[in-house]
Amino acid sequence: MRSLLVSLRFGLSALMAGGLICIGGLPGAAADTVRASQWHLRSLAIGTAHSLSQGDGVTVAVIDTGVDADHPDLVDAILAGKDFREPSGNDLEVRRDMDRRGHGTSMTGLIAGRGRGGAGGVLGIAPKAKVLPVRHTWGGLDFKGETPTAIRWAAGQGAKVISMSFGDHGGIGLELAIREARAADVLLVASAGNRPESRQVRFPARYDGVVAVGAVDRSGRRAGFSVTGPQLALTAPGVGITSTRPRGTGGGYGTGSGTSDATAIVAGVAALVRARYPDLSAPEVVHRMTSTADDKGPAGRDEEYGFGIVNPVRALTAEVPPLDPAPDPVGPGRPGDATTQGTQILPGGGERAWSQRTLLVDGAGVVVLGLAVGGAVLLTRTRRRRP
């Protein structure tokens, strides 16, 4: 039966840039169509991986559009989350948040689907992990600073993995929130972005220490829409991926393509590894995933596949050499120094690139050097607090 495409009227540019290209419904599916259509489970040998780990005891925060927590495949998988779309005084705890756009529900199913629904149901990469839904504005610039606040809140709730299937512009607030989460031993995963909207790896995937994820198709080749760049760390299946949808939309299931899907899959693998090796730090988990990936393209890390296609079974079983404490496995940034880049949208529709350098001074102050290309030079200094 011909799939029914679901129109996403809001935030289309962000969906394209950060992850999901299209979603098709699966109405009237045969008895085993849903599970059988999850080709990525077979490609990644998830059955074997589940004999070793299923993500028990790991909480994965999904910063996205919310989740339909009453979906049959997601019952018992969802923790009480938070809605950051409104000012802080009106933040709402969301347990049964109806995800009107479907993106967050889809990513959640890929990570922790229980496989209990009809037509075989959607089985997640880490079906015994818990998902913490964190809702934020979808599309456009995050002027209210919701994403940094959402990252800090998720880290404070005990999330061991944060999955961010979106891409946008960077900023000092987001950079510092990423650093704080990393300091709390949180593993951060984000989508590299989709062409043609994204010309390079987007933020937050572009930051050092964040696992930037690209997409491959069934044959293991890089998907044509998957953005390339030196920040790319891993790739994973991202073409024609079946997952959960809010109930009433295409029978509660749909098919999508994008680096969003690949990101959720890598986040699920991270949950498997964290459950099997609870004593490993987040960088050590990343090191285990990148060093056991199936190398593609030129030998070693490259701009199309990163370290390669994630391999859950090898990540769970291989003997991996200890991580050198000096380098970061997914970014060689200097401690205490960060460079943030972005693009300013001008009133006439043009763009202007900008960059800024943040220097952390003994944890007591921040010095920011900003330079807008073609614009004025801004120098701001925050005085150090006296003891």
The residues that are catalytic are 64, 103, 260
Q: How many DSSP H helices and E strands does the chain contain?
A: 10, 15
CA 180 to chain centre: 17
Sheet holding 253-258, edge to edge: 4-5, 20-25, 253-258, 241-244
Report how far residue 214's alpha carbon sits from residue 202's, in angstroms, rounded to the nearest whole number. Answer: 11
Phi, then psi, of 337 in degrees rounded to 5:
-140, 130
Residue 133's alpha-carbon distances to 136, 241, 252, 286, 317, in angstroms, are 10, 21, 18, 23, 30
Strands of the sheet containing 377-381, edge to edge, are: 337-345, 351-361, 365-372, 377-381
- Alpha-carbon span 212 to 263, nearest angstrom: 8
Paired residues of 342 in beta bridges: 354
CA atoms of 222 and 236, how far apart (whole Å): 9
